[in-house]
C-alpha cells in the first residue's frame, strides 16, 4: 500500500470528472482530470475563477465525490467511500484551510483547534496541551484564549492552519488561503504552509490566484474550464524525510458525551436569549400538563383520604337484607320492616370464622343525650369502638383530639365541640377528662331485637369522660359497653338481632372474594375498598382527561421547539459545514443537536414543574381560603415531578430529531456555501 522510496504516487487522480445536473442541464465542472502527487511536495493550483479549483480540492479532501473517475489516496480509492469513511478520512488524513477561515467565531482560538481532537483518540487530558502545541507551531500561543473575532485575518488563518494540523494529517488542502489577507500576512501564511512540506514532509496543495507564490512550489498545475492546461514539476524539489502519521490518528471514535455536552452548552449560551425562549416554550407545556394532572391527582388523593378516614380499607360492612316487600331503602332496618336474613350471634361467629377474616364485631350505634335533665340535653351519636384486639389495625380507630379511648365499660369519648359547651368559658376543656357525666342512650328503633313494633326505651348511665373526638356529633364507647347496652335494649337476648357486623379482611386482596362470599350468604355488603375503587375509576377518567389536555399543551410546545430547532439548523448551516469539513461524523453532529435539545428541554421541564408547583400551591391556598378547610385540589406526587421533567426533555429531543437528522445529512460543501 505505502509507497517505497516515493516511486508510487501518494495521490492519484484518474480521469476525474465532476458534473452538476440542474433542471435537465449539465455543467461539466471537471473534465477527466488526471495527475499524480508525491508526498513531501508543495503543489500550487492556479486558474481563473470558475475553472473548478475548489471542486478539485473538495474531491481531494473527501468533501465531495467525483461523477466518474478514481481518486486514490495512499492506494485506496476514496471516491467509493461512504459518508462515515469519508468523515474519518477528513478527520485523520487531510486538513482543510479555507479562504474565509471557517472557524467558530464565538469560540476561542484554543477551542477551535481542540475541536477536531474531540473526536480523535487523543486522551481528554492531552487535548489541551496538544492544541497549545499546535498554536505554538503557528506562533499564536499568546492568543490562545482570544475569540476568533478578536484576531486579525492573518492570525485567524494561522489558527485555521493549526486546526488543520490537529490530526497530524498527511495532506493539507488550502483554498485561496491568502485571498482575504494583505500581502504581508499572505506571505507569512504561504511560508508557514511551505514549512509544513519542508520541515514535516506533508503534501500541501494550495489554490491561489497569486503568481507571486509560484517560486515556493514544487509543482504548478493550471486549470482552465475544468481541464488541466499545464502541469509542471520543478527541479528544485528538496527531498525530506517521509511524514509519518501518529499511531492514534487512524483510529476513529465518537465524541465523548461530556465533550458533546460542553459543545452543546456553548452553542446554547452563545444564543442565550433564544435558548431561554425555547426553554420557556417547553416550560409552558410542562407547567400546563403537570398542573392539570396534579389537580386530578390531588382531587383523587383528597377523596381517597376522605374515604379512608371512614375506616380501614379492609373493612366490610355487613347488614341484614330487607325483604322485598318492605319499605325504606335497602339495607335500612326501619321500623316495621321485615328482615329476611337477621344477623345474630351465630352469624357473627360464622363470619369471624371465614377464611382470610382477621376479625368481626358488631357495629352498634346509639342516639344519646348528655345532661342530667333529659329535656335540656345535647344530642350526639355514640358508636361502639372495635374490640381491643383489633385496635392495631390501621384506621380502625377514629381520630381523637385529646385523651384516650375508653377501655372499660364506663368510659366515653365525646365531641370536642360538645365538651366546650359543657364548661364555662374561663376553664379549660381538659378539666372535663376523668369527670363523670350522665348519658341517656336511646335505642335506635328497629336496630336491635327481632323486628316488630317496639317502644323506644331509653337507658341512663353515668359514664366517665375519657377523651374528645374531632367530629361535631360523634362520640364513642367501648365495644363491651356497646354490647352490654344492646342486651338491655333487646326484648330477648337469646334471639338478639344486630343492626350490622364489621368484618375485617386480613388483606386488601381478599376483600373482594369475601364480599362475594358474604353476599352469597344473603346479606347486604358494603366495603370501603369497592366504594373507593368505583370512585377512583371515576377520578381516573378525570385525571386522564386533564392529562390529555396537558399532553396537547406539551405537543404544542414540542412543535414550537421543532420549529425553533429547524430555524437554528438553517442559521447554523455553516457551523455544521465546518464540523463536517473537519471530519466530525454525521452521528456526532446530530448528537450535538440532540444534546442541545435535551439540555433546553430538561431546563424547561424543571422550570415547568417548579412553576406548576407554585401555581398549584396558589390554587390550593385560594380553595382553602374559600372552603375554610385544609382540602388541597392540587397534588405533586414524586412520579409527576419525574414525568414533567422527562416529558420536557423527551419532547424536546423528539422535536429536535428531524432537524438534527437534516443537519447531519447536509453535504459539507453545500453547508459551507451558506455565506
Of 79 and 333, nearer to ligand ADP (C-beta) is 79
102 lines the binding site for ligand ADP (CB under 6 A) = no
CB 547 within 8 A of CB 337: no
Cα–Cα distance, 575 to 271 (Å, whole number):
14
178 lines the binding site for Mg ion (CB under 5 A) = no
Place of cell 378547610: 629
Shortest distance, CB of residue 83 to ligand ADP, whole angstroms? 18
Of 175 and 588, nearer to ligand ADP (C-beta) is 175
Stretch binding ligand ADP (CB under 6 A), from 22-30, 121-129, 266-274, 574-582? 22-30
Of 50 and 522, nearer to ligand ADP (C-beta) is 50
For the chain, the distance separating the N- and C-terminal CA atoms, rounded to the nearest angstrom, is: 40
Stretch binding Mg ion (CB under 5 A), from 48-56, 106-114, 162-170, 350-358? 48-56
One residue of 38, 51, 54, 568 binding Mg ion per CB under 5 A? 54
613 three-class SS: helix
Stretch binding ligand ADP (CB under 6 A), from 21-29, 123-131, 287-295, 303-311? 21-29
Residue 413, CB half-sphere, CA atoms under 13 Å: how many? 28
Of 157 and 651, nearer to ligand ADP (C-beta) is 157
The distance between the two most distant Cα atoms of the chain, rounded to a whole number of Å, is 135
One residue of 12, 41, 51, 632 binding ligand ADP per CB under 6 A? 51
Stretch binding ligand ADP (CB under 6 A), from 6-14, 49-57, 195-203, 426-434? 49-57
One residue of 12, 38, 54, 279 binding ligand ADP per CB under 6 A? 54
Query: CB count, 10 Å around CB of 192?
Result: 19
* Residues from 25 through 44 that contact ligand ADP (CB under 6 A): 27, 29
Residue 381 forms beta bridges with which residues? Answer: 367, 474
Binding at 27: pick from Mg ion, ligand ADP, none (beta carbon under 5-8 Å per type): ligand ADP
| Contacts (Cβ under 8 Å, ≥6 apart) of 566 | 658, 659, 662
53 lines the binding site for ligand ADP (CB under 6 A) = yes
One residue of 6, 15, 34, 50 binding ligand ADP per CB under 6 A? 50
Binding at 440: pick from ligand ADP, Mg ion, none (beta carbon under 5-8 Å per type): none
229 lines the binding site for ligand ADP (CB under 6 A) = no
* Residues from 316 through 335 that contact Mg ion (CB under 5 A): none
Residue 228 forms beta bridges with which residues? Answer: 223
- Grid coordinates given for 579: 464540523
Query: CB count, 10 Å around CB of 534?
Result: 9
- Grid coordinates given for 348: 357473627
- Grid coordinates given for 162: 493549526
One residue of 38, 39, 52, 598 binding ligand ADP per CB under 6 A? 52
- Grid coordinates given for 533: 375503587
Helices (H), 441-527: 479-489, 511-520
Strand-by-strand arrangement of the 203-207 sheet: 94-97, 171-175, 203-207, 42-46, 219-224, 227-233
Shortest distance, CB of residue 667 to ligand ADP, whole angstroms? 9
In this chain, which residue has its C-beta nearest to ligand ADP?
Answer: 54
55 lines the binding site for ligand ADP (CB under 6 A) = yes
Q: Which of 66, 40, 39 is nearest to 52 (CA)?
A: 66
| Contacts (Cβ under 8 Å, ≥6 apart) of 277 | 564
Stretch binding ligand ADP (CB under 6 A), from 50-58, 328-336, 617-625, 647-655? 50-58
Q: Where are the beta strands (DSSP E) in 419-490?
A: 436-442, 458-469, 474-477
One residue of 49, 425, 537, 625 binding ligand ADP per CB under 6 A? 49
Query: CB count, 10 Å around CB of 359?
Result: 17
Shortest distance, CB of residue 152 to ligand ADP, whole angstroms? 25
Residues that bind ligand ADP (CB under 6 A): 20, 22, 27, 29, 47, 49-55
Residues that bind Mg ion (CB under 5 A): 54
Amino acid at each position: 500500500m505505502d509507497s517505497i522510496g516515493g516511486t508510487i504516487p501518494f495521490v492519484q487522480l484518474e480521469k476525474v470528472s465532476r458534473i452538476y445536473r440542474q433542471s435537465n442541464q449539465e455543467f461539466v465542472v471537471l473534465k477527466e482530470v488526471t495527475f499524480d502527487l508525491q508526498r513531501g511536495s508543495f503543489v500550487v493550483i492556479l486558474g481563473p475563477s470558475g475553472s473548478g479549483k475548489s471542486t478539485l480540492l473538495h474531491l481531494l479532501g473527501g468533501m465531495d465525490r467525483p461523477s466518474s473517475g478514481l481518486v486514490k489516496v495512499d492506494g485506496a480509492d476514496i471516491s467509493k467511500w461512504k459518508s462515515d469513511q469519508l468523515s474519518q478520512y477528513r478527520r485523520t488524513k487531510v486538513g482543510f484551510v479555507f479562504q474565509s477561515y471557517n472557524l467558530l467565531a464565538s469560540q476561542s482560538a484554543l477551542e477551535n483547534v481542540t475541536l477536531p481532537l474531540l473526536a480523535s483518540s487523543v486522551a481528554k487530558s492531552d487535548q489541551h496541551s496538544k492544541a497549545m502545541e499546535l498554536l505554538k507551531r503557528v506562533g499564536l500561543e499568546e492568543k490562545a484564549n482570544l475569540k476568533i473575532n478578536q484576531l486579525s485575518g492573518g492570525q485567524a488563518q494561522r489558527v485555521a492552519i493549526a486546526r488543520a494540523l490537529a490530526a497530524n494529517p498527511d495532506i493539507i488542502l488550502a483554498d485561496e488561503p491568502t485571498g482575504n489577507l494583505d500581502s504581508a500576512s499572505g506571505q507569512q501564511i504561504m511560508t508557514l504552509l511551505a514549512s509544513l512540506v519542508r520541515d514535516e514532509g506533508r503534501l500541501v496543495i494550495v489554490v491561489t490566484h497569486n503568481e507571486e507564490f509560484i517560486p515556493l512550489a514544487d509543482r504548478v498545475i493550471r486549470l482552465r474550464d475544468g481541464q488541466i492546461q499545464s502541469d509542471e514539476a520543478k527541479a528544485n524539489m528538496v527531498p525530506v524525510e517521509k511524514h509519518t502519521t501518529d499511531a492514534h490518528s487512524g483510529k476513529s471514535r465518537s465524541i465523548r458525551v461530556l465533550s458533546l455536552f460542553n459543545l452543546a452548552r456553548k452553542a446554547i449560551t452563545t444564543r442565550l436569549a433564544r435558548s431561554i425562549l425555547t426553554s420557556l416554550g417547553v416550560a409552558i407545556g410542562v407547567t400546563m400538563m403537570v398542573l392539570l394532572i396534579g389537580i386530578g391527582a390531588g382531587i383523587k388523593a383528597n377523596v381517597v383520604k376522605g374515604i379512608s378516614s371512614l375506616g380501614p380499607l379492609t373493612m366490610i360492612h355487613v347488614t341484614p337484607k330487607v325483604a322485598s316487600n318492605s319499605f325504606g331503602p335497602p339495607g335500612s332496618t326501619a321500623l316495621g320492616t321485615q328482615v329476611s336474613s337477621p344477623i345474630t350471634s351465630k352469624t357473627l361467629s360464622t363470619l369471624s370464622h371465614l377464611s382470610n377474616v382477621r376479625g368481626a364485631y358488631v357495629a352498634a350505634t346509639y342516639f344519646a343525650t348528655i345532661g342530667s335533665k333529659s329535656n335540656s340535653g345535647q344530642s350526639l351519636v355514640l358508636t361502639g369502638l372495635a374490640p381491643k384486639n383489633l385496635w392495631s389495625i390501621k384506621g380502625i380507630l377514629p381520630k381523637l383530639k385529646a385523651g384516650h379511648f375508653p377501655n372499660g365499660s364506663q368510659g366515653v369519648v365525646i365531641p370536642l365541640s360538645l365538651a366546650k359547651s359543657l364548661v364555662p368559658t374561663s376553664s379549660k376543656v381538659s378539666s372535663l377528662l376523668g369527670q363523670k357525666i350522665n348519658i341517656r342512650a336511646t335505642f335506635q328503633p328497629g336496630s336491635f331485637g327481632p323486628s316488630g313494633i317496639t317502644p323506644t326505651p331509653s337507658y341512663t348511665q353515668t359514664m366517665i369522660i375519657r377523651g374528645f373526638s374531632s367530629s361535631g356529633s360523634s362520640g364513642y364507647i367501648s365495644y363491651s359497653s356497646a354490647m352490654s347496652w344492646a342486651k338491655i335494649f333487646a326484648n330477648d337476648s337469646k334471639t338478639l338481632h344486630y343492626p350490622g357486623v364489621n368484618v375485617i379482611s386480613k388483606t386488601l386482596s381478599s376483600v373482594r372474594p369475601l364480599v362475594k362470599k358474604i353476599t352469597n350468604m344473603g346479606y347486604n355488603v358494603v366495603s370501603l375498598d369497592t366504594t373507593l375503587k368505583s370512585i377512583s375509576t371515576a377520578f381516573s377518567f378525570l385525571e386522564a382527561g386533564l392529562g390529555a389536555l396537558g399532553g396537547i399543551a406539551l405537543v404544542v410546545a414540542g412543535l414550537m421547539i421543532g420549529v425553533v430547532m429547524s430555524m437554528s439548523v438553517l442559521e447554523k448551516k455553516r457551523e455544521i459545514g465546518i464540523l463536517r469539513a473537519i471530519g466530525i461524523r454525521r452521528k456526532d453532529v446530530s448528537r450535538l443537536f440532540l444534546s442541545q435539545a435535551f439540555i433546553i428541554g430538561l431546563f424547561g421541564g424543571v422550570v415547568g414543574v417548579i412553576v406548576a408547583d407554585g401555581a398549584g400551591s396558589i390554587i390550593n391556598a385560594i380553595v382553602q381560603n374559600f372552603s375554610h378547610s385544609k382540602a388541597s385540589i392540587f397534588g405533586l406526587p414524586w412520579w409527576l415531578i419525574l414525568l414533567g421533567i422527562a416529558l420536557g426533555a423527551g419532547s424536546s429531543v423528539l422535536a429536535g430529531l428531524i432537524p438534527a437528522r437534516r443537519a447531519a445529512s447536509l453535504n459539507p460543501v453545500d453547508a459551507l456555501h451558506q455565506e
